[in-house]
Each structure stands twice: as C-alpha cells, then as structure tokens.
Amino acid sequence: MHFFVKVRPLNLFMRLPVFFGGVSLQQKFKKVIIQMKTAIFYSSSHGTTAKVAELLAQKMTNSQTQIFNLKKLKNADLTIFDTIIIGGSVHAGNIQSSVRKFCSKNMVELLNKRLALYLCCMNEPEFDVQFEHAFPELLRKKAVSSKIIGGEFLFGKMNFFEKAIVKKVSKVNGTVSKIDYSKIDEMAKELEVVTISGI
C-alpha cells in the first residue's frame, strides 16, 4: 500500500512494542489514519473543477472521501472531517463567489483542519497571482498542499458571450484541455503523508 507515516522524534520507541509481541504504535497510528475522513468542497462552472475533485477522491485511497458541490450546498458540516480540500476555478480573474463565501464563513473551523487548496485556470502567466487572489492568505498559509491544476476551455458548455470572450482574450477557437494530471497525483500523495510530531 502506498502509505507513508513520518514519525519524527520517537520513531524507535514507536516500533519497540513489536519486540515484546505487541502491535507497534506506528501500526496503531496507521490504523487511525486509514480511517481518516476527507471532504472536497468545490465550485465549477463547466465541469473541470468537478472532474478534478472526482480524480482526487479516486486517488485518495487511504481516506473516506466525500465530494460537495458548493453551488448546491446550503450548510456545510465540517466537524466530522479531518482533511478539507477546497477547489475552484478562475473566470474573468476571479474564483467563484461560492468558494469565497465558503472560505470566509468557515474560516475558524478551516484553520483547525488539515487543509488543501486547488485552482483550475488557463492563463499560465497569471497562475500564481490568481491563486493568491483566489484564496485568503490565512488559508494559503495553513494549507499542507496547494496546486494550480491548469484547466479546460469546453466550448460545448459555453454560452455565446463566454465563447466570444475566450476567442478574443485567449485566441482559442475550440475545446482545449490542459489539465496537469501530475498536480492531482502530487496533491493525493502529499495528503497521504501524515507527520505526527510532538509525540
């Protein structure tokens, strides 16, 4: 199983009970971590951020993962989740307002969770600036994993005005997919690694 536990200070101590016929503390912690619960809260305009949420959930094999669409969700109960992943996409320079509202409404609780953030967008020179603009600084600092995943121009799902904007601004005339799947793998891996410190 691809699973890593970094136990810093007393690694040896945690393995010691095995020599006396018991279960090591490390194994006990693995058991606890395997039962960890993850929630992915996302907002998506044409489906790309939703697709990324699904792929992430599939890759997070050591966690029970639930996915929530922020555009349909009225009240979020974060209490049962250990890890929260928030995803959104950029349209005309901004992330969805449902993501902004979710972040500000649940700020205190989010700061007490293991947090990860991802953003779908297509304007590569602006990737970092858009990420900074999309998520509040406190959450960006708190996040154990942050990824800019790229995105897609799905012409079949755009209305007349969206097509016109994309054609003019991005000089693109048809569907383009530029999802960086390696970033999804990286996030899933980074969230598998749990550092237990201070034991």
Ligand X SMILES: Cc1cc2nc3c(=O)[nH]c(=O)nc-3n(C[C@H](O)[C@H](O)[C@H](O)COP(=O)(O)O)c2cc1C
The residue number with the shortest CB distance to ligand X is 151
CB of 147 to ligand X, least distance (A): 14
**Which of 22, 93 has the CB closer to ligand X?**
93
Give the residues across from 6 on adjacent strands.
195
**Which of 42, 81 has the CB closer to ligand X?**
42
Q: What residues between 25 and 84 interact with ligand X by CB under 6 A?
A: 44-49
122 binds ligand X (CB under 6 A): yes
Which of 4, 58, 77, 93 is the binder for ligand X (CB under 6 A)?
Answer: 93
DSSP letters of 138-199?
Answer: HHHHH-SEEEEEEEEE-GGG--HHHHHHHHHHH---S-EEEE-HHHHHHHHHHHH-EEE---
**Encoded amino acid at 150, one letter:** G
CB 164 within 8 A of CB 11: no
Structure tokens at 138: 């406190």
- Write out the residues near ligand X by the rule CB under 6 A: 44-49, 89-93, 120-123, 126, 130, 151-153, 158, 162, 165-166
